[in-house]
Amino acid sequence: MEILSLIRAHKGVQGVYRHRSAVTGTDMTFTVFVPDHRPGAVLPVMWYLSGLTCTHANVTDKGEYRRACAELGLIFVAPDTSPRGDGVADVPEYDFGQGAGFYVDATQAPWAEHFRMWSYVTAELPDLIAAHFPVDMARQGIMGHSMGGHGALTMGLTFPDRFRAVSAFAPIVAPSAVPWGEKAFRGYLGPDRAAWRKHDAVALIEDGARVAALLVDQGDADSFLATQLQPQRLAAACATAGIDLTLRLQPGYDHSYLFVSTFMADHLRWHAARL
């Protein structure tokens, strides 16, 4: 693991790191904020998954999470959204290829060689974080924005014993039923829609996945609300399944990091109460 930078901020240290991933076969960059703590102490860890076109840097630069993490004693980890580099498949469109990994393990050529973000985020990166940082892996929460909100919901529903709290900002809740998700799943996973269900939060709930509670914030001025996000689908699935969903439709807010940063501290406090 290579240290790219260490910068002091809000009574903690913001680090940027790079390592060679055996899962993706590429170099991967991620960030970790570690608040000050007693020697020998271990802290709860928050995983944050970013959305389409983003890298590790978007939330690190614009998420405004460090003050709250320092106050609450939370480590904050932000991976990239896809493999990158020479020889990694890509397309010109923003919603597929590099920057748009959709947190799945691709099975279709040419994506299957490198696009294995599910295994990277749920297995390889946690092992690396546990080996190098003072994290309590018995106290993990996961959150994300847009495509990353999709990833946070599906991973939280798949590993409810690992992630004790799950939240999202403007998530893609039913990717199998909206254009972004249909394009990505068809390209990465092939035409069999049955294979898509384990990466679709609404479908996972319909198929029996359960968590105790979910927190979702959604701006009502989000230009993607009706076509791509459709939080009412998640609300209906949670109501049927008896999942305690707090869905907050925030008046006047859009899809940007100005929206995310506004409610970031709320989410971190919600997670801290459960971790």
State the Cα–Cα distance between residues 217 and 20, nearest whole angstrom. 34
What are the two backbone dihedrals, phi and then psi, of residue 245, each rounded to the nearest 5 degrees?
-100, 125
255 is catalytic: yes
State the Cα–Cα distance between residues 21 and 109, nearest whole angstrom. 20
Residue 245 CB neighbour total at 10 angstroms: 18
Distances (CA, A) of 253 to 113, 217, 222, 227, 247: 38, 10, 7, 17, 14
Annotated catalytic residue, options 114, 199, 255, 267: 255
Annotated catalytic residue, options 146, 150, 200, 267: 146
146 is catalytic: yes
Annotated catalytic residue, options 145, 222, 267, 271: 222
**Side-chain-facing half-sphere of 183: CA atoms under 13 Å:** 13
**Side-chain-facing half-sphere of 147: CA atoms under 13 Å:** 28
244 is catalytic: no
Beta strands 213-219; 163-169: pairing state: parallel
Q: Which residues are catalytic?
A: 146, 222, 255
